[in-house]
Structure 1
Amino acid sequence: MATGWAGDGAVQDQIDATVKDGIRRVRSRLRAGPGLSRCEECDEPIPAARREAVPGVRLCVACQEAQDREAGAAGGYNRRGSKDSQLR
């Protein structure tokens, strides 16, 4: 029977689901396999240590940072907003 009130732990369950969805989304974008020896954006060499640390790497550090800044500005969740905004 629906009472109109959320059950115990419903807010935490929603937050947990949001975090799991975020992790799943990021993992789906991870590349695998051999990376490139030169950046596909600026053609600078990618150091061997970076290629070993990041499987499937395609960008140098500078280009990756620029791409991350652009992606960070475009999305994300408002964790400081109201409880309702956290439930989306």
Structure 2
Amino acid sequence: MADLADIANDRSEFHLCLALQQLAQRPVRPSAQFCDDCGAPIPLDRQAAAPGCDACIDCQQLRERRR
């Protein structure tokens, strides 16, 4: 017989799997060639590593610090 910890663990795993499936199904738009914030060119390596990016590395770091 399952105890409360097992039930909670099962529910947690279910919600995690559901969230990962939804994330994988989201359409990815092409990466921008120029940063939306500063206008600098976004390197091809960044575009390949982060599909759908619209900011250069420096501007993305600033965005994440503000959140």
Instruction: Provide TM-score, normalisation by structure 2.
Output: 0.64
Establish whether residue 40 from structure 1 lines up as the match of residue 31 from structure 2.
no
Alpha-carbon separation, structure 2, partners of 1:45 and 1:17? 41
Matched-pair identity in %: 24
Q: Which amino acid aligns with 1:49?
A: D
Quote the residue 1:58 is aligned against.
54
Compute the RMSD of aligned alpha carbons: 2.5
Quote how far apart the aligned CAs of 1:21 are: 4.5
Unaligned residue ranges in structure 1 (runs of 5+): 1-6, 71-88
Unaligned residue ranges in structure 2 (runs of 5+): none
Q: Which runs of 4+ in 1 moved over 4 A?
A: none
User: How far does the alpha carbon of each residue in 1:29-72 deviate from its partner, in whole angstroms, 9 at most, with x for none?
Assistant: x66242111111121211111112222221111222233331xx
- The size of the alignment, in residue pairs, is 62
Quote the residue 2:8 is aligned against.
11
Instruction: Provide TM-score, normalisation by structure 1.
Output: 0.52
Q: Would the alpha carbon gap of residues 18 and 32 (structure 1) be closer, same or farther in structure 2, given more than 3 Å must change?
A: same
More helix by share: 2
